[in-house]
Amino acid sequence: MSTEPNPTKPEYQKTKVIRQGGASEAVYGLGLIGALVYYITHATTFLLGVLGFFKAIVWPAMLVFEVLKYLHM
């Protein structure tokens, strides 16, 4: 009698996960790089450069906020 697991049994088979929709990740990544370049090149001090880094990370939230603010008028 063997105590080793049988890989052919269903409880030991791995589930194959297929991810789709990676285009939005690419758009966000390009936007992040563009925002980093914009904010850091316009920074006059180190502190503004650090602030620009954090702004570049959350730029989609700021964009949606401004669009919703504009549409509310």
Residues recorded for the chain:
73
Both tokens of residue 29?
């990544």
Looking at residue 71, its pLDDT comes to 92
**What pLDDT score was predicted for residue 9?**
60
11-24 pLDDT, tens digit each: 666 777 777 767 77
Q: What is the pLDDT of residues 23-69, one digit of tens each?
A: 778 888 888 999 999 999 999 999 999 999 999 999 888 888 999 99
What confidence score (pLDDT) does residue 39 get? Answer: 92
| Range 30-35, long-range pairs (CB < 8 A, 24+ positions) | 31/59, 31/60, 32/56, 32/57, 32/59, 35/59
Query: What span, in angstroms and rounded, lies between the C-alpha atoms of 48 and 43?
Result: 5
